[in-house]
Structure 1
Amino acid sequence: MNRQKTQVLIVGGALTGLSAAVFLAHKGIRVIVVERHPDLLSHPRLRGITPRTVEVLRQVGLGPSIRQESFSGEDGVFVPLRANTLADDYETVEEAGQAEFIDPRTYSSSTYAGIDQDRLERLLHDRARQLGAEIRHFTEAVSLDQDEDGVTVTVRDRASGNEEALRADYLIAADGSKSRIRNWLGIDTDGPGVLFNTISALAHADLSAAVRGRPIGIAYLQKPRPFSSMMPHDGSGTRWLFGTGYDPRHESLADFTTERVAEMVREASGLDEVEVSLKPQIPGTDLTVLGFPIGAQVARSYRSGRVFLAGDAARIQPPTGGFGGSTGIQDAHNLAWKLAAVLTGRAGPGLLDTYDAERRPYGRLAMQQAFARFGDRMADGAQVELLDYSAVTMGFRYASAAVPGNHETDPIPAVELCAQPGTRAPHRPTADGGSTLDLYGETFVLLTGREGQAWVKAAQDLGTTMGVEVQSYVLGTDLRVEDGENAHGIGPDGAVLVRPDGFVAWRSHSAPMHPTDTTDTADAADPTGATTTLAEILRSILARQS
């Protein structure tokens, strides 16, 4: 049996897997993606991505394409509503406990992007290939073995039946909520599990008479049965995603024929005579009706040896809140820079432990908040406190060895972000019309106060002695930012170290104490102690001994 070698193998070529391929290939890592479907699904599924997710995709050159493919512009608003049918009067869903709406442009260089998953996946697919990733469709993983040096996966071409062994340094399992990889590894999940099952269909029907010009993001309907929904697939009013729950104990997916589902769409719309046609959701097939579980669960570990779980393989949650797709993309973003650092020898393997330490707590938070919003919108009310939406999507906080000394994990409303360790570095407009966020994505970045020259020299020295690139900027001099020191919580001689993923790893309000104040002998090569301090921080983050 032939055996091809790569650095990272990704099982699952949908939203999370393709995102991981893009982020890794962008950093020069060799990637192979295997996907069991013959092509990308036409099913829109996800309706949009959060400002933070747009930020990370801008880092790999996808910002303009996302805006071009979005169904809403910079000021687009996603409107969830409740009604009996689409034609009836409706009430806008208001989530209890939410702060007054604040324009995301006050805390981000990006806004919410209303883009359907099928379109976003196509952009990711094309970008991954452009960056050199190999993507194999209609290919499934059939066995997995791992040892101290890597992972061997046997894959099967579903068209020919031919099998091949792929050898990789690491594997990312992005193979969905029923993850075969997770099951092979014996990783259990916590949470309520499957809440109900739903069928979905991509319907073409002119429902303008029901909509009557009203803005609709998603409509939660009582017809044809409770837990039904309708979402516009574009701005034409003629392409819709219909979904409704069903109980597999009493009816099967095969019971939902094209004719039956078309009639259900009519009932949901409130237009008994409207013409409805269903379109295939998987190119090259005639599958017009698909089944999906709606549930809430989180894997008990996101890592087993050299295998990492990401996206729905790691956790699932109800679609309410729109956290799912963005959570998967950010799983991939968090993991990619760490894998790249380890594979290129800039970090020790211990850095990879921080993926589970950072992303699993967030996966639990996102699941709980989505579940609470599900109860608030469609059931008997939220069972846990609904946190500010921007705190969940932008203000979450990491506590791990890659954020030395931080133990705080409570989410923070996005407008309150000011470079607290473990949070996404704050957005501040720069004099050239950009954002401080434009600095992040490639290397470590050190921002200092206007008297922070000792920190700048330390970063330059460590680039030579540790081989770690740290780009340095003095606020107010190299980087003209209004009130930059206060916005980052530092004094004139303080500093903030930002990781390649844009999260604050460490912050010092002022310069380090002079060595002669605390020791008998000063280091002539490091009279301020800045180099020693920064070296200790970088070694901790990168799990390095030297």
Structure 2
Amino acid sequence: MTSSSKQLILTHMNQQRTQVVVVGGALTGLSAALFLAHQGIRVTVVERHPDLLPHPRLRGITPRTVEVFRQVGLGPSIHRASFSAEDGAFVPLRANTLADEYEPVAETTGAEFDDPRTFSTDTYAGIDQDRLELLLRDRARELGADIRHFTEVTALDQDADGVTVTIRERASGDEGAVRADYLVAADGSRSPVRTWLGIETDGPGVLFDTITALVHADLSAAVRGRRIGIAYLQKPRPFSSMMPHDDSGTRWLFSTGYDPRQESVADFTTERVAEMVRAASGLDDVEVSLRPQIPGTDVTVLGFPIGAQVARSYRSGRVFLAGDAARIQPPTGGFGGSTGVQDAHNLAWKLAAVLAGRAGPGLLDTYDAERRPYGELAMRQAFARFGDRMAGGAQGELLDYAAVTMGFRYASAAVPGNHDTAPVPATELRAQPGTRAPHRPTADGGSTLDLYGETFVLLAGSEGQEWARSAKDPGTASGVEVRSYVLGTDIDITDGEEAHGIGPRGAVLVRPDGFVAWRSQAGAADPAATLAEVLRTVLARQD
């Protein structure tokens, strides 16, 4: 797995120290750095590319993903940088060519996602990954994250106290070592870290391979003013697609399937890809040029495997897998990017709590227990939608999109007593343990969701003042900050108790990630003792 002799040599060098090292500086890795820095954790990101890629890769993020970015101050910036329709709608289409009549592809099995503002502060954000990563990197650096481009990890060793990674600056060839308490591997679907750890994957595996190209071509004659999120096309061959990269109709992402047993990426010359774009657009004479996809190079065509797999474990000792390193799925449904962001969001508060001594190390086991089942759900749903859009029929049951992206439910030791992981329709979220706490507008124009993101929060019913007092008692919370609010008194909302599934003497404990850890619907004989025991259980504390 590692080069031990190299590590022994590096122990005699000046070893850099951080709390968490993140391998991979794309969407998931930058999200991890941002969420960790927001929690006050020293974090170092190591990214092998010289800069962020201009490749969009991702068409947009779900309302839940925008919510978690709101917690770190990025919500408004993300919506300003989005370029989809004013209502945030994503419009997938199916056609023979871009110039032909379109067949819309249904995204949901119900109407729940038509207006997410009934259950969220945010709408779908039509932002491409390259734009989003710029925002994430800037904000993470503002909060103190150390982000290093053109640097790669060549070896890693972990022991009972931490992880040591050997890094190499690709420009100079200089090597050094970074010592961290924990490592987050966000290094993509071919994850070298996952390979070093010997973690295998389950699932269908590679479904097909695709090439992509960033295209400059005026395709307005084919589009004719019609709205497009992504077009799934039969020309120049099945499994082709065109996706706009701006609002002008001149910048596009083209992709098409190919068989690496019959041809290589190098076979897709500029001239050949230009002809394929003309066939896909239905415009035989349009002028086409390609743009580089990797900064500092003239690489215009990249190859990617499209597959579906989930790692058998998201954790090995002090190393955690996140994003595509943990699971991949077809892009259909847009689950991939948002799933990676929420992997990072789930893990960050847990690492911060353990590193600060507020939680026992057992809390970190709940990352795999919570996120791997969701990774499997997202993979199955993306695979089902892949069949629905690309192969003429759904490959499995299509669940309601809002339930999958907003109503997923955790069952772990950090949600005491809950064993139910079935997704909940987004309009039926009522603070069920393991679900994202519900959104309710407040009198000041905000939302109950604005309460979450930094600490535990206790919401008590209108007669639950003893719960609130207990939460503020340092003896009850054992040094853990718990912000408490009495519904109707401290928070002015009209249906707070009903919205959170409690009576006047009930209470809800919400974790820093905005998920409900525990709920007492009708109160308790000894609120202080009950709350203290719940916190000890959630945080895996032995005191």
- Where on the TM-score scale, by shorter chain, does this alignment land: which range? over 0.9
- 2:264 is aligned with 1:252: yes
- 2:320 is aligned with 1:303: no
Distance 1:210 1:39 in 2: 34
Partner of 2:10: none
Query: Which of 351, 366, 370 is the matching residue for 1:339?
Result: 351
Distance 2:86 2:446 in 1: 16
- 2:541 is aligned with 1:544: yes
| Per-residue Cα deviation, 1:431-459 (whole angstroms, up to 9, x for no partner) | 00000000000100000111001101110
Query: Which of 499, 524, 528 is the matching residue for 2:511?
Result: 499
Query: Which of 57, 64, 88 is the matching residue for 1:45?
Result: 57
Distance 2:59 2:483 in 1: 36
Structure 2 portions without partners, runs of 5+: 1-12
Distance 1:328 1:406 in 2: 24
Is residue 98–residue 386 contact of structure 1 (8 Å, CA) maintained in 2? no
Is residue 108–residue 400 contact of structure 2 (8 Å, CA) maintained in 1? no
| Per-residue Cα deviation, 1:238-270 (whole angstroms, up to 9, x for no partner) | 100000011100000100111111111111000
- 2:451 is aligned with 1:439: yes
Offset at 1:170? Answer: 0.1
Which AA in structure 1 matches 2:161?
D
Tell me the TM-score normalised to structure 1 length: 0.96
Q: What is the Cα-based RMSD across aligned positions, in Å?
A: 1.1
Is residue 29–residue 186 contact of structure 2 (8 Å, CA) maintained in 1? yes
Which AA in structure 1 matches 2:119?
Y
Change (3 A) 1:101 1:25: closer
Distance 2:37 2:262 in 1: 46
Partner of 2:167: 155
What SS does structure 1 have at the residue aligned with 2:313? coil
Query: Which of 82, 85, 93 is the matching residue for 1:81?
Result: 93
Change (3 A) 1:51 1:401: same
Change (3 A) 1:272 1:161: same
Offset at 1:15? Answer: 0.3
Instruction: Give structure 1 regions of 4+ aligned residues with deviation exceeding 2 angstroms.
Output: 94-102, 462-465
Distance 2:451 2:109 in 1: 34
Change (3 A) 1:432 1:100: closer
- 2:479 is aligned with 1:482: no
Partner of 1:521: none
| Per-residue Cα deviation, 1:338-379 (whole angstroms, up to 9, x for no partner) | 000000111110000000000000000000000000001110
| Per-residue Cα deviation, 1:48-74 (whole angstroms, up to 9, x for no partner) | 000000000010011121011100265
- 2:396 is aligned with 1:384: yes
Change (3 A) 1:452 1:413: same
Query: Which of 463, 468, 477 is the matching residue for 1:451?
Result: 463
Distance 1:495 1:100 in 2: 28
- 2:24 is aligned with 1:15: no
Matches within 5 A, 1:14-413: 14-72=26-84, 75-95=87-107, 97-99=109-111, 101-413=113-425
Is residue 22–residue 33 contact of structure 2 (8 Å, CA) maintained in 1? yes
Tell me the TM-score normalised to structure 2 length: 0.97
Distance 1:190 1:311 in 2: 15
What SS does structure 2 have at the residue aligned with 1:411? coil
Is residue 463–residue 469 contact of structure 1 (8 Å, CA) maintained in 2? no
Distance 1:95 1:102 in 2: 10
- 2:524 is aligned with 1:512: yes
Distance 1:325 1:105 in 2: 21
Change (3 A) 1:270 1:74: closer
Offset at 1:44? Answer: 0.4
Which AA in structure 1 matches 2:135?
L
Change (3 A) 1:463 1:382: farther
Is residue 9–residue 31 contact of structure 1 (8 Å, CA) maintained in 2? yes
Offset at 1:94? Answer: 2.2
Partner of 1:2: 14
What SS does structure 2 have at the residue aligned with 1:375? helix
Is residue 409–residue 421 contact of structure 2 (8 Å, CA) maintained in 1? yes
Distance 2:477 2:404 in 1: 39
Distance 1:42 1:97 in 2: 33
Higher mean C-alpha deviation, range 483-492 or range 1-10 = 1-10
Is residue 462–residue 531 contact of structure 1 (8 Å, CA) maintained in 2? no
Matches within 5 A, 1:523-542: 529-542=526-539
Is residue 460–residue 487 contact of structure 2 (8 Å, CA) maintained in 1? yes
What SS does structure 2 have at the residue aligned with 1:456? helix
Change (3 A) 1:278 1:254: same
Distance 2:447 2:475 in 1: 25
Change (3 A) 1:203 1:512: same
Query: Which of 407, 418, 439 is the matching residue for 1:427?
Result: 439
- 2:459 is aligned with 1:468: no
Change (3 A) 1:252 1:43: same
Which AA in structure 1 matches 2:514?
G
Distance 1:376 1:434 in 2: 38
Distance 2:463 2:507 in 1: 10
Q: Give the length in aligned residue pairs.
A: 531
Distance 1:96 1:7 in 2: 41
Is residue 112–residue 402 contact of structure 2 (8 Å, CA) maintained in 1? no
Offset at 1:511? Answer: 1.7
| Per-residue Cα deviation, 1:24-54 (whole angstroms, up to 9, x for no partner) | 0111100100001111000001000000000
Structure 1 portions without partners, runs of 5+: 514-528
Is residue 34–residue 137 contact of structure 1 (8 Å, CA) maintained in 2? yes
Which AA in structure 2 matches 1:273?
D
Is residue 197–residue 292 contact of structure 1 (8 Å, CA) maintained in 2? yes
Change (3 A) 1:239 1:130: same
Distance 2:475 2:70 in 1: 26
Is residue 158–residue 164 contact of structure 2 (8 Å, CA) maintained in 1? yes
Which AA in structure 1 matches 2:294?
I
| Per-residue Cα deviation, 1:138-195 (whole angstroms, up to 9, x for no partner) | 1111111000000011011111111111110000000000000000000000001111
Offset at 1:464? Answer: 6.8
Distance 1:461 1:336 in 2: 26
The alignment-based identity, stated in percent, is 82
Is residue 108–residue 401 contact of structure 2 (8 Å, CA) maintained in 1? no
| Per-residue Cα deviation, 1:444-484 (whole angstroms, up to 9, x for no partner) | 00001110011011101146760011101110110011211
Distance 2:18 2:145 in 1: 10
Distance 1:286 1:96 in 2: 40
Change (3 A) 1:74 1:338: farther
Change (3 A) 1:334 1:426: same
Offset at 1:383? Answer: 2.2
